[in-house]
Amino acid sequence: MILDRFLITDQAAVVTGAGRGIGAATAVALAQAGADVVISARTEEQLHKVAHEIEAAGRRALGVPADLSALDAAAGLAAAAKDAFGRLDIVVNNVGGTMPRGFMQTKPHHLENAFQFNVGIAHALTRAAVPHLLETGGSVVNISSVMGRVSGRGYLAYGTAKAALAHYTRLAALDLAPKVRINAIAVGSVATSALDIVMTDDGLRTQMEGNTPLGRIGDPDDIAAAVLYLASPAGAYITGKVLEVDGGIDAPNLDMGLPDL
């Protein structure tokens, strides 16, 4: 049956930024599809909750509280999966983000930090994972952003870093083919903690929904489903691609209200 191609029974995955939002939804989705999951985030309490949901799906969870901006900690997640589960099949690089700033407020170190946080961590973990992924014919999914392909005021550091992650995905896919697949998702506006101010303000939420062709803000499960597609046998003929899961937007759907120069 075609649905069997979405199963990842007895595989092992690593998901970063898995304490809440997209990372948490993705970790649970992978477990529901059959995988054991290493989850990492800064906050241990959040990991306990996600681990409980993974175990409720009948799979094993290993929570690793860590600040992944320490690249050795990010790289160590690959070995943690191998030690805990005996294999590693899937890596989801979900850690990322940067505060919006105007052009003149974006200092060189803001750009450097954005690149490190959104690309450097992903590379550190992926590089450490590759020897294990080669054994299983595994898959990597990077969480990029719509802001990596559209223009909007205030997103200089964030958009540049996410564009770099998207092209990193294309380049790495050729380096790792044919044994390891690597793809990315360009995420639009999703109802996570990053959008708390929008979700609790009727005016802002209405503006964002009205500027989105599908008329709603995304749900973390929308992204989790796309991750499962790319990571599972259902996506076996896809590598080096950036899947746009953004409600159809071609421009920022919220005015950041940043001051002029």
Query: Is the sign of the CA dihedral 69, 72, 75, 81 positive or negative?
Result: negative
Question: With 0-12 CB in 10 A as exposed, 13-18 as middle and 19+ as buried, what is 102?
Answer: middle
Determine the pLDDT at residue 171: 98
Catalytic site positions: 158
Any idea what the Cα angle at residue 204 is, between residues 198 and 205, rounded to 5°? Answer: 70
To the nearest whole number, what is the mean pLDDT of the chain? 94
Per-residue pLDDT tens for 18-49?
A: 999 999 999 999 999 999 999 999 999 999 99
Determine the pLDDT at residue 193: 77
Strands 242-245 and 90-93: unpaired
Band of residue 204 on the pLDDT scale cut at 50, 70, 90: confident
Per-residue pLDDT tens for 93-103?
A: 999 998 899 99
Band of residue 259 on the pLDDT scale cut at 50, 70, 90: low
What contacts 101, CB < 8 A, 6 or more positions away? 110, 154, 156, 157, 258
Compute the average pLDDT of residues 131-156: 96
Cis, peptide link before residue 220, omega less than 30° from 0: no
Compute the average pLDDT of residues 85-91: 98
Alpha-carbon gap, residue 151 to 206, rounded angstroms: 21
What contacts 48, CB < 8 A, 6 or more positions away? 63
3-state secondary structure of 192: coil
- Per cent of the chain over pLDDT 70 is 98
Determine the pLDDT at residue 256: 65
Band of residue 203 on the pLDDT scale cut at 50, 70, 90: confident
Comparing 47-56, 155-164, 196-205, which segment has the lowest mean pLDDT?
Answer: 196-205
Q: Supply 204's token pair.
A: 């802002």
Q: Count Cβ atoms below 10 Å from residue 251 Cβ, excluding itself.
A: 9
Determine the pLDDT at residue 42: 95
Residue closest to 126 by CA, chosen among 169, 163, 187, 85: 169
pTM exceeding the 0.85 threshold for the entire prediction:
yes
Per the DSSP assignment, residues forming a β-bridge with 181 are 139
